[in-house]
Amino acid sequence: MNTFGRNFRVTTFGESHGLALGAVIDGCPPGIPLSPEDIQPLLDRRRPGNSSRSSARKEADQVQILSGVFEGTTTGAPIAMVVFSTDARPEDYDRLKQVFRPGHADFTYQAKYGWRDYRGGGRSSGRETVARVAAGALAMKCLALWGVRIHSRICSVHGATLPEAIDEEIRQARERGDSVGGILEVQVSGCPVGLGDPVFGKLDALIAAALMGIGGVKGVEIGEGFRVADLLGSENNDQIRATGFLSNHAGGILGGISTGQDIVVRIAVKPTSSIHLPQHTIDTTGKEVTIEITGRHDPCIVPRVQPVAEAMLALTLLDTLLEQEKYRNFAARIK
């Protein structure tokens, strides 16, 4: 399943060290002004090497729009966006051809497919998110027409919560050849009331799938999240006054449907699986080996997950908004 969404459908393709990565977006409203300049800044933000915190791989990541835009505007036809690879170094990975890296999908892909593109993780690489971010940038343009805005912040990295302390944790991890995880919070403001569907299409369920599906994410919580386990109903319920809700413990969603308050989601991101320290593993013949992974790897992917998480939330919200729009004009006709 390389397609996300029911209404604003994003199909992605491409491997870490293949020829190109890309996305085809089907179901985009016609009439949206769109050019590569709308996409590029978000891709640049996702890119490694754009800060002292991240790895050294240098990719221009120049997006091209192959279809679906005519005279600068979306036409309703599917929009294909492609980023051709310019700094692929598949030969870096020849050593890993026969070995399952701990924490990576090497073992499960081999078991599932009987086959594996070992070049930098192939399809399981974080580089796959280039396509998500490109599609998310377009979703954000659409959402902006409704006043919806999405942003995120790093809550903590390896226990540290202040920027300097976070940088220090990352620096130390890099120095030791190890890696660190952390927690991100993503917030949506300006969300219309009524998005999401009861039972299996709940907005929180869709958000959970969207964010848990990002590589390295191991937990998702909404509003008070896991803290609800320690709260009383009288503490956790959001009481209402004529002026609105008195609190937002629910994180902007009740019964799976948006309340109009800010949507607040937190995700846990695991420490990068690629570390320079020696680890026990086996090769494809089952023989035990010790592996020390070299090459360019971020010791902490939390900052790079930020634009990806924002993109996935944008895709989710636009999809539910289109779902809800279907019924708007019936009400007027019923009278």
The residues in 124-153 that bind a second copy, with binding defined as CB under 8 A, are 124, 128, 142, 145-146
Residue 315-334 contact track with a second copy, rule CB under 8 A, x = bound: -------xxxxxxxxxx-xx
Looking at residues 170 to 209 of the shown chain, list those that interact with a second copy (rule: CB under 8 A). 173, 178-183, 193-194, 197-202, 204-209
Minimum CB separation of residue 236 from a second copy in Å reads 5
Is residue 222 close enough to count as binding a second copy by CB under 8 A? Answer: yes
Q: Is 200 exposed, middle or buried (0-12, 13-18, 19+ CB in 10 A)?
A: exposed
By the 8 A CB rule, do 114 and 107 touch?
no
φ/ψ bin of 267: left (φ > 0), alpha (ψ from -120 to 50), beta (otherwise) = beta
Looking at residues 259 to 298 of the shown chain, list those that interact with a second copy (rule: CB under 8 A). 259-260, 268-275, 277, 279-282, 286-288
> Helix (H, G, I), strand (E, B), or coil: what is residue 43?
helix
DSSP-derived pairing of the beta strands 240-241 and 9-13: unpaired
Looking at residues 33 to 62 of the shown chain, list those that interact with a second copy (rule: CB under 8 A). none
Spatial neighbors of 302 by CB under 8 A, at least 6 apart, are 154, 157, 181, 182, 183, 184, 269
Minimum CB separation of residue 172 from a second copy in Å reads 10
Choose among 17, 25, 37, 10: nearest CA to 75.
Answer: 25
Minimum CB separation of residue 210 from a second copy in Å reads 8
Choose among 273, 271, 120: nearest CA to 281.
Answer: 273
Q: Which stretch binds a second copy (CB under 8 A): 34-42, 43-51, 52-60, 235-243?
A: 235-243
User: Which of residues 56 and 240 has its CB atom nearest to a second copy in the complex?
Assistant: 240
- Selected binder of a second copy within 13, 185, 295, 296 (CB under 8 A): 13
User: Which of residues 223 and 307 has its CB atom nearest to a second copy in the complex?
Assistant: 223
- Distance from C-alpha of 92 to C-alpha of 54, rounded to nearest angstrom: 19
Q: Which stretch binds a second copy (CB under 8 A): 38-46, 54-62, 76-84, 303-311?
A: 76-84
> Helix (H, G, I), strand (E, B), or coil: what is residue 166?
helix
Is residue 306 close enough to count as binding a second copy by CB under 8 A? Answer: no
Tokens, residue 51:
């800060």
Minimum CB separation of residue 44 from a second copy in Å reads 22
Minimum CB separation of residue 45 from a second copy in Å reads 21
Choose among 232, 231, 211, 229: nearest CA to 220.
Answer: 211
Tokens, residue 320:
């539910």
Minimum CB separation of residue 239 from a second copy in Å reads 4
